[in-house]
Amino acid sequence: GWYRRLSLAADPWLNFTNALPRAALVPLVVLWAGLGFEMKTVIVFLGGFFSIILPTVEGVRTVERQFVDVARSFRAKDRLIFRSIVLPGTVPFIVTGLRLAVGRVLAGVIIAEFYAQTEGLGVMIAKAAASLQSDRMIFGVLLFTLVGIVLYEAVGALERYFQRWRPSIDLEEAA
């Protein structure tokens, strides 16, 4: 893509760390960060980071080399190339990553709260399960679902905002 050497250096590390099962890292994160807010933050970050970074890297790779070459022939600085060529070409990939990350981040929140057993919706669900209160469990799950829908719609709004320059195709008119 844009910087081949960076890609060659980063790919093995991204693939290695992406292959690590995040749930198996929870005990290690607890040892390093404790059971507080820091632990929850790290687990949520790990849940969403790779869902966003891997499609983004792939998006940068798919940027047309000719566009970058033409910009460089006009002596465009890297900042301008990034802003006007790389970023617009990568937005669909970033949005895909964000959509994937929503579910994984929410799963990370639940895992972190189950593990920490301090406070939060995950703890409420765990306590309801332990005391066989299915109504409270369902309420907690539905609340998480509602948060997921809101986050998913927020990503959709972000996508529409950043892709407003793209022409839309009306399939009924095209037929």
Mean of the pLDDT values across residues 39-59?
A: 87
Residue 39 scores a pLDDT above 60: yes
**Contact yes or no for 81/68 (Cβ under 8 A):** yes
> Tens of pLDDT along 75-117?
989 899 888 888 888 888 998 899 889 888 888 888 887 777 6
- The answer to whether 19 and 73 are in contact (CB under 8 A) is no
What are the CA-CA distances from residue 149 to residues 44, 71, 141, 170 (Å)?
A: 17, 40, 12, 26
Element (H, E) at 37: helix 37-61
Q: Please, are residues 148 and 106 in contact by the beta-carbon 8 Å criterion?
A: yes
Residue ranges of domains in the chain, CATH in brackets: 4-167 (1.10.3720.10)
Confidence at residue 172, expressed as pLDDT on a 0 to 100 scale: 63
Residue 57 near residue 88, CB atoms below 8 Å = no
What distance in Å separates the CA atoms of residue 108 and residue 63, rounded to the nearest whole number?
32
Model-wide pTM > 0.85: no
